Amino acid sequence: LFRDAESLQSFEFPVEYMFKDVPKLGGKEDYIKYTLEEMDRHGIERALIGVAEKAETSKLALRRHPDRFLASCETDPNRGMEDLRRIQRMADEFDVKAVSAFPCGLNPQVPIDDKRFYPVYAKCCDLDIPFLCCVGVPGPRIPMAAQHVERIDEVCWFFPELKFVMRHGAEPWTELAVKLMLKWPNLYYSTSAFAPKYYPKAIVDYANTRGAEKILYAGYFPMGLSLERIFSELPQVPFRDHVWPLFLRENALRVFGLAP
């Protein structure tokens, strides 16, 4: 999908222009051990990681440390029934706790409200797991229309039991995202890919008023943000006292169906 020279030739990862001090993981002898050490250092009990047929490190982490790592399976609805079968295989083998999607990053792109996604939404309802979806303007230099926030509205209407979690900002439509969360009981927002100092004001205000149970912590480690940066900035986020335990823990336990 990329057409500009920097994305094609220079960037090590597609949103390099947006992030400074990206964590450097090259040369680690044991990535699983390193990740657990970082989690322990910052008080993280459990982490969500992607799993796929060829993701050997992730599969090993899930098998060795099922008490620390939770599985998420990325979907490509362009693959039709094969994608649904793959989701089921991953669920059977790794007790997948979520299905994720990057609509603008698919080739061809698949809008959030496109009919190709509907079988995936139905599968998530059947498995009783949330759907995690990148929304808003994507960081990579690719077209954005597939992730317009208003596309979520019809999905929530047609699948009222689907737990739909917005990822990666929803900008510049965060006020619309809040309106939709007020409207739809099973629509949520996670703070993935945003350093805490840049959490959108509309989201912080909503968490402090009517939306304390709708906003979930998510990071971006190791893709673009170090845990050290995230947790050094978190105390400056102006959440009210009652929001913090919900944001950091309790909302995730409920949405992902986890035992305390």
Query: What is the separation of C-alpha 40 from the centre of its chain, rounded to a whole number of angstroms?
Result: 21
Per-residue pLDDT tens digits for 147-195: 999 999 999 999 999 999 999 999 999 999 999 999 999 999 999 999 9
Structural domain including 151 reads 5-255
- Is 179 contained in some domain? yes
What confidence tier does 29 reach under pLDDT thresholds 50, 70, 90? confident
The CATH number of residue 150's host domain is: 3.20.20.140
Residues 118-127: what's their mean pLDDT? Answer: 99
Asked if residue 152 belongs to a domain, the reply is yes
Sheet holding 164-167, edge to edge: 47-50, 69-74, 98-101, 131-134, 164-167, 187-190, 215-216
Max CA pair span of the chain = 48
Within a domain: residue 131? yes
Residue 237 pLDDT level (bands cut at 50, 70, 90): very high
- Structural tokens at position 1: 């999908």
Residue 239 counted as domain residue: yes
Region 218-231: mean pLDDT is 93
Could you tell me which of 99, 153, 89 has the C-alpha nearest to residue 122? 99
Q: Does residue 260 sit within a domain? A: no
Specify the number of domains making up the chain. Answer: 1
Supply the pTM of this predicted model: 0.94
